[in-house]
Amino acid sequence: MDIKSYYSRMNLPEPIVPALQAVRLLKGQTALVTGANSGIGRAIAIALGRAGANVIVNYVARPEDAEEVAAEIRSHGQGAMIVHADVSDEAQVQAMFAAAVREFGTIDILASNAGMERNAPFHEMSVAQWDAVMNVNLRGGFLCAREAVREFLRRGVRPEVSVAAGKIIFTSSVHEVIPWAGHVNYAASKGGLMLLMKSLAQEVAEKRIRVNSIAPGAIRTPINAAAWSTPEAYAEVEEIGRAAVWLASDGAYGVTGQAVVVDCGHLTMPGFNPAPSSP
């Protein structure tokens, strides 16, 4: 399914996407993308496939959507498989990585994208809402990154495909630095993810493992439908996919421990600026 058909089916306006030729920067590599059957994860998985990587498409619901993503990747000549796993469950994450290694021999790239929101005013937020978000957004990132690092260390550098032993890309948010009233659990999870990314990058740099994140602002997906009247303030999911390809490529070899912000300038707007006012 092409981009325009997907957006039409999802009742989204036609995307504003530059006409860029796919470059196979990731030829011979394999990527695992969590939460890859919709939204940002879908775009990352397809972009990595178009760049030459085989892709493991993780999902927790709607396997038919995951298979659609895999079919799109196969149409570009790459291998793809779908794997069901709850990223907050240690055993399921380990089984997912084991299945991926059996199928493709190794994993070179992890795009830890799976995330969720369970919003409520703070005084009304339940422990279940807090735990649900933390378990997927932060614990899930930890579990997947740990398995990826273990595989990278086991396999070592494959100089024929990359000068790095492995690449990890977290999907974070501008709310890793911007407070978000009414979404305290989400913002706290993304703030924690930021320091997970930076601390892990510091720890494994000497092993030639790169760890970065992408911090999207408002992305034009169905969850933001009420605000589409100002499309210039919204990025398309494909922009996140292109950022992931660059971070996974050797063109970004000197980049680790960094958050790449894709936000249409939200951090430059006074209402979004997290810096304290001058006295």
Question: In the CATH hierarchy, which top-level class contains the domain 23-266?
Answer: alpha beta
Where does residue 77 rank: exposed (0-12), middle (13-18), buried (19+ CB within 10 A)? exposed
pLDDT digits (tens, 9 = 90+) for 83-128: 999 999 999 999 999 999 999 999 999 999 999 989 999 999 999 9
pLDDT at residue 276 tops 50: no
Q: What angle do CA 42, 188, 197 make, to 5 degrees?
A: 60
pLDDT band at 64 (very low <50, low <70, confident <90, very high): very high
Other CB atoms within 10 Å distance of the CB of residue 138: 19
Average pLDDT over residues 151-177: 95
Query: Which pLDDT does position 278 carry in this prediction?
Result: 38
What pLDDT is recorded for position 228? 59
Residue scoring higher pLDDT (257 or 233): 257
Residues with a catalytic annotation lie at 186
pTM for the whole structure: 0.89
Tell me the pLDDT of the chain averaged across its residues: 89
Q: What is the pLDDT of residues 237-273, one digit of tens each?
A: 899 999 999 999 999 999 999 999 988 777 777 665 5
| Residue 1 pLDDT level (bands cut at 50, 70, 90) | low
- Condensed to tens digits (0 to 9), the pLDDT of residues 2-46 reads 556 666 776 666 666 676 777 889 999 999 999 999 999 999 999
| Residue 41 CB contacts under 8 Å (≥ 6 apart), including other chains | 33, 34, 35, 58, 111, 113, 114, 171
In 94-225, DSSP assigns E strands to 109-112, 166-171, 209-216
Query: For residue 279, what pLDDT is reported?
Result: 37
